[in-house]
């Protein structure tokens, strides 16, 4: 296990634990306001101080972690559920019209950033956490479809797949029984990366007011609300900003560490010291 995997998993685990803990307990209730105690500095009662409504920032970060993780996790789930079958289908029918249709459809979705899709969705049904999950999820579909197709294509030319075909298995069964298990590592690594991008996208959406609506705490909205208060209460912006930065960084580290551990080819690269930037 590499150091970056340890650091990455450790710190993102910490945020996940904080998010989970917020389901049962937070130092203070984030939905009750205490205007008289606004902009309080760090103290024993409020470890990270309070915001412009007198809410406890530590509690809000914990609940925000839960919001971010839930949205990003579900969005990755949607992306995998939609993208993996599409990618397998495209690879199985490579070169056919169906392959073309699937991949051009992916290009089409890819052409719209998650933000644009989210604006489209919220314009129709109104802003909410569920809609941001759907928007980020839709954006994830072509990512996984491309990845699976690219990973599956070389597998189709290998001997064990050939022998499975000779033994009379159909393309669907081969895809599920022989191709998919060989793509697991790829999916885990990409899933981690997409997870971190999902957290970033959720923060972006709630920053512009399209994500989770108050009183649900969210890191992006905490940042947006603090914009005009940076001059006299910089911690309001710094704390959620750091939370987003650290989580995304750790998840990227974890993703790279996982790739190094799971993928022998890139492990060799890592040993040669060839650092690799996250996508």
- 126, 154, 170, 279: residue in contact with other proteins (rule CB under 8 A): 126
Going by C-alpha positions, the residue among 27, 67, 60, 69 that lies closest to residue 250 is 69
- CA separation for the pair 177, 150 (Å, rounded): 18
Q: What's the closest the beta carbon of residue 210 comes to other proteins, in angstroms?
A: 8
Name the residue nearer to other proteins (CB basis): 163 or 227. 227
Q: Which is nearer to other proteins, 31 or 177 (CB)?
A: 31
Q: Shortest approach of other proteins to residue 175 CB, angstroms?
A: 43
Does position 241 interact with other proteins (CB under 8 A)? The reply is no
Told to check if 127 binds other proteins by CB under 8 A, we report yes
- Per CB under 8 A, which of residues 142..201 are in contact with other proteins? none
- Residue 237 contacts other proteins per CB under 8 A: no
CB-nearer residue toward other proteins: 131 or 190? 131
**Distances in Å between the alpha carbon of 32 and those of 38, 56, 59, 110, 184?**
12, 10, 12, 41, 45
**Which residue's CB is nearer to other proteins, number 35 or number 277?**
35
Nearer to other proteins, 209 or 279 (CB): 209
The least distance separating other proteins from the CB of residue 261, rounded to whole angstroms, comes to 43
Instruction: Please write down the long-range contacts of 81-85, taking CB distance under 8 Å and 24 or more positions apart.
Output: 82/137, 82/138, 82/140, 82/141, 82/144, 82/145, 83/140, 83/141, 83/142, 83/143, 83/144, 83/145, 83/146, 83/147, 83/148, 84/144, 84/145, 84/148, 84/180, 84/187
In the complex, least distance from residue 76 CB atom to other proteins, rounded to whole angstroms: 26
Kindly tell me the sign of the dihedral angle through the C-alpha atoms of 76, 80, 82, 86. Answer: positive
247 close to 9: Cβ distance less than 8 angstroms: no
Considering the rule CB under 8 A, would residue 13 count as an interface residue with other proteins? no
Q: Does 40 bind other proteins (CB under 8 A)?
A: no
With CB under 8 A as the contact rule, which of the stretches 8-16, 17-25, 184-192, 212-220 interacts with other proteins?
212-220
**Residues of 70-83 as b/e, b for ≥16 C-beta within 10 angstroms?**
ebbbbbbebbbebb
Please work out the total of residues on this chain that contact other proteins, with binding judged by CB under 8 A: 21
- The span from the CA of 96 to the CA of 47, in Å, is 60
C-alpha distances in Å from residue 6, one per residue of 9, 14, 140, 250, 264: 5, 12, 26, 10, 18
Which of these segments, 49-57, 75-83, 149-157, 245-253, binds other proteins (CB under 8 A)? Answer: 49-57
Q: Closest distance between other proteins and the C-beta of residue 218, in Å?
A: 12
Contact set with other proteins (CB under 8 A): 31-33, 35-36, 38, 52-54, 126-128, 209, 213-215, 227-229, 231-232
């Amino acid at each position: 296990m590499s150091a970056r995997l340890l650091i990455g998993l450790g710190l993102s685990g910490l945020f996940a634990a904080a998010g989970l803990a917020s389901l049962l307990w937070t130092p203070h209730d984030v939905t009750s306001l205490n205007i008289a105690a606004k902009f309080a500095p760090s103290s024993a009662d409020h470890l990270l101080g309070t915001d412009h409504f007198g809410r406890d920032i530590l509690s809000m970060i914990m609940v925000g972690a839960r919001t971010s993780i839930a949205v990003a996790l579900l969005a990755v789930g949607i992306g995998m559920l939609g993208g993996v079958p599409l990618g397998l289908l495209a690879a199985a029918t490579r070169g056919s019209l169906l392959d073309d249709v699937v991949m051009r459809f992916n290009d089409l979705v890819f052409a719209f950033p998650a933000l644009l899709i989210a604006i489209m969705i919220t314009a129709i049904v109104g802003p909410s956490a569920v809609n941001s999950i759907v928007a980020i999820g839709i954006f994830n579909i072509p990512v996984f479809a491309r990845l699976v197709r690219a990973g599956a294509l070389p597998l189709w030319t290998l001997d064990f797949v050939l022998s499975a075909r000779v033994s009379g298995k159909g393309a669907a069964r081969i895809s599920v029984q022989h191709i998919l298990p060989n793509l697991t590592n790829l999916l885990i690594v990409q899933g981690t990366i997409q997870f971190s991008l999902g957290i970033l996208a959720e923060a972006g959406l709630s920053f512009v007011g399209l994500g989770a609506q108050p009183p649900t705490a969210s890191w992006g909205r905490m940042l947006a609300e603090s914009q005009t208060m940076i001059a006299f209460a910089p911690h309001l912006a710094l704390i959620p900003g750091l939370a987003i930065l650290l989580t995304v960084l750790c998840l990227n580290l974890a993703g790279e560490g996982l790739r190094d551990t799971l993928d022998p080819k890139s492990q060799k690269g890592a040993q040669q010291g060839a650092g690799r930037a996250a996508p």
